[in-house]
């Protein structure tokens, strides 16, 4: 398939996000993840321990995506520069 880029998809902790647009803003991706988690937990009452685990899990996912997007943007710049 000459001339067509592959769509990049990641699945982390049950969250699926499409990264076909490499220039995606990190905050936009993180907001999407937060919305998914809120929808999943809507109406659920969590214990303090479960709440702390969920917060840590969100931070881990946030850091992973931030790292992924920065690396992707760096690769994109290197490809453009040749």
CB 46 within 8 A of CB 54: yes
Two structure tokens written together for 54: 């969920």
How far is it, in rounded angstroms, from Cα 61 to Cα 67?
10
pLDDT digits (tens, 9 = 90+) for 5-54: 544 554 455 555 555 555 555 555 555 666 666 666 666 777 889 889 99
pLDDT digits (tens, 9 = 90+) for 3-18: 455 445 544 555 555 5
Two structure tokens written together for 12: 């982390």
Q: What predicted TM-score, i.e. pTM, was given to this entire model?
A: 0.43
Q: Kindly state the helix (H) or strand (E) to which residue 6 belongs, with its residue range.
A: none
């Amino acid at each position: 398939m000459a001339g067509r880029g592959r769509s990049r998809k990641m699945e982390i902790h049950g969250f699926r996000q499409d990264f076909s647009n490499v220039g995606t803003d990190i905050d936009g991706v993180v907001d999407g993840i937060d919305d998914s988690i809120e929808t999943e937990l809507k109406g659920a009452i969590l214990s303090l321990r479960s709440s702390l685990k969920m917060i840590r899990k969100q931070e881990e996912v946030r850091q992973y995506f931030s790292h992924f997007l920065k690396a992707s943007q760096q690769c994109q710049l290197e490809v453009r520069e040749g």
